[in-house]
Structure 1
């Protein structure tokens, strides 16, 4: 008999982006150029000065060697200084572990915090990689439903109602992937107090924190002297500095938690590549203005898309949106996959179906603005308006 795949892995749905991109091979040739609203990847390259700086490091023999598991001390110190600017944070390098993207940071957090049979309360719509990881690890995700009337913002009361004796954490992505919604600091403060009352962790995935309009402070949680008792942050520099292929993530937690997480780090990846660490350090020390300009550009894309999409006569409904994403209710009676497949076949628009972001979300689609330039937005919205519908919304 041949070896078999773990039942837990076998039961997990394949990566949604790979699934949706597979449809392109079967797309009919209707003469339309594809508009890709599928993946949240910046369409602009890293800053030229960052690339030039990295080129000077490639001949350094140290750049190809391991670093400490948690990352180079000077890089982590640069992160601490950047967090003082952006969060008002008073944190030390021993609260940081640099990781292979935010996804590895999430794995580190979960395997350090939880064991099989534990529960994690997750706000829907969620980032699809998170429940995939929970399922693989034998953890139970307990999902707070999406409230369209609240534009997807979490309700502390609803989340608290889902906590049981097996709950180890509340998990929230802000700004949200997929809705773009930015959870206000006052709600995040309430969620921290909720985690404190129940002696659990609040896990915040803040991958898109550099794209909050105006560069506003995401929250004040890192200014609290007790932040490390109940807060775990998943962070990424991949979107911030257009380094997605460099896999520039980070786990932020108490020094005690990081020390235990490093046991898993050593068996997973040992360390983030030095070239990635040097890219992050350069970006944090030199590219605040470049980051701000890209934040403003993404805000313009969002504002233009929203203005065009909300004009009368659109059969699709904008349920929520933010700098990187729009969360749209489609006018068809079937699933999100059916709607997304129709969009790619009939309108050459590629996006993700709502059901990959949570149960009961078949009526929605996620649109990402990373790949669409401002001049393309009117045409993209025109295609939504022009698609044939059988059961349009009132």
Structure 2
């Protein structure tokens, strides 16, 4: 007797789907321009690479580590967050995870179960929605619109919370739109979550690409944070080590105790060579972080300049790693548009449909892994693909 599992109902991984489209490109317009995945396009600094290699040779590092992370990394990360946010964070509130996706998965295991609901603003990060589907948790969409800059409205959010709601998930700087949420808005939403008895889960994977390492928000200093805030982070983008899979979570003491159970069953501990090298990196690589942020900022400006003369293409939001772009193909499904751009023009982007309901007019361009000349080339190919030129060809 056949049976459909929850996993069978989860969508195909979007990056894998984009890779299949890209594989059909024949090279007619030049090299593939892959803007599908948010990944650094340069290696980690040589000093960090050397420390990673040395750590991998240490016999003690080949053993299991503490479930919640090596004490040195938990302490170094807590000190860094305390200094940057101007609020004390105890290392006991830190969990080190195998990437930020695992941090989110473990947090959802701790916070919600089948039949519960978690609110995701739409457009949402697809792995968040996929995780909730796997766990049997209702991913409740909070629609956002371009006119607001894709920022959530607290009143609309309040109206969605009911007795089944366990958490609200925000991403800032946002994936897929790039929007940076103002501190006052985040504070209002944290206060709302505390009043309604739910948890705010804030994914800050891209926070190190804010200009001059600005303080992203004041939430850690607010009294509601202990019981109603979970903050997620990824070392991957900042230090150009996505393959090493190290993320972090800051939460209240009760939640972290629950996370230990989840992490022990998912992977036991995060990869330890990177855990050994990162305490040094957090302290020593401030210049590298700032230089990376400045370079990404320049690429964002290059995207704005390249799109300015394009007919029909409109950047609706941009920031950190992403430009969220309105395409000129009317009612054509965004997945069909993205597939054609990849297969015929060698420009690989993700369709808005991957990011939730109401997103068919949009494409996400992850520009952090392409140099400025490639950005200009992408714009040239998009002009070739425009409906007006197609009609006159």
TM-score (ref. length: structure 1):
0.95
**Structure 1 residue 31 displacement after superposition:** 4.1
1:263-282 matches, within 5 Å, as: 263-282=261-280
1:248 aligns with 2:239: no
Contact 2:25 2:345 in 1 (8 A): no
1:237 aligns with 2:214: no
Which residue does 2:320 correspond to in 1? 323
Contact 1:119 1:167 in 2 (8 A): yes
Q: 2:82 aligns with which of 81, 84, 105?
A: 84
Which residue does 2:384 correspond to in 1? 386
1:242-391 matches, within 5 Å, as: 242-311=240-309, 313-332=310-329, 333-389=331-387
Matches of 1:304 and 1:370, distance apart in 2: 11
Deviation per CA, 1:351-391, whole angstroms, max 9, x where unpaired? 00100101121111000012210222212112222213169
Which residue does 1:42 correspond to in 2? 40
**Structure 1 residue 252 displacement after superposition:** 1.1
Matches of 1:265 and 1:117, distance apart in 2: 22
1:50-65 matches, within 5 Å, as: 50-65=48-63
SS of residue in 1 equivalent to 2:6:
helix
**Structure 1 residue 207 displacement after superposition:** 0.6
Q: Kindly tell me: are residues 353 and 5 of structure 1, through their superposed partners in 2, closer, same or farther at Cα, counting changes over 3 Å?
A: farther
Matches of 1:296 and 1:234, distance apart in 2: 23
Matches of 1:373 and 1:303, distance apart in 2: 12
**Structure 1 residue 109 displacement after superposition:** 0.4
Q: Kindly tell me: are residues 29 and 260 of structure 1, through their superposed partners in 2, closer, same or farther at Cα, counting changes over 3 Å?
A: closer
Matches of 2:138 and 2:54, distance apart in 1: 47
Which residue does 1:197 correspond to in 2? 195
Unaligned 5+ segments in structure 2 are none
Contact 1:315 1:385 in 2 (8 A): no
Contact 2:312 2:386 in 1 (8 A): no
**Structure 1 residue 241 displacement after superposition:** 0.5
Matches of 1:174 and 1:226, distance apart in 2: 19
Which residue does 2:15 correspond to in 1? 17
Report how many residues are paired.
Answer: 389
Matches of 1:374 and 1:70, distance apart in 2: 40
SS of residue in 2 equivalent to 1:285:
helix
Matches of 1:93 and 1:6, distance apart in 2: 42
Matches of 1:6 and 1:283, distance apart in 2: 46
SS of residue in 2 equivalent to 1:280:
helix
Q: 2:116 aligns with which of 115, 118, 121?
A: 118
Contact 2:183 2:216 in 1 (8 A): yes
**Structure 1 residue 330 displacement after superposition:** 0.9
Matches of 1:288 and 1:35, distance apart in 2: 30
Deviation per CA, 1:198-251, whole angstroms, max 9, x where unpaired? 011000011111111232111011122441110011111111101100001112
Contact 1:71 1:98 in 2 (8 A): yes
Matches of 2:205 and 2:320, distance apart in 1: 12
SS of residue in 2 equivalent to 1:240:
helix
Q: Kindly tell me: are residues 53 and 385 of structure 1, through their superposed partners in 2, closer, same or farther at Cα, counting changes over 3 Å?
A: same
Matches of 1:5 and 1:285, distance apart in 2: 52
**Structure 1 residue 28 displacement after superposition:** 3.9
**Structure 1 residue 280 displacement after superposition:** 2.1
Unaligned 5+ segments in structure 1 are none
SS of residue in 2 equivalent to 1:67:
coil
SS of residue in 1 equivalent to 2:387:
coil
Which residue does 1:210 correspond to in 2? 208
Q: Kindly tell me: are residues 5 and 33 of structure 1, through their superposed partners in 2, closer, same or farther at Cα, counting changes over 3 Å?
A: farther
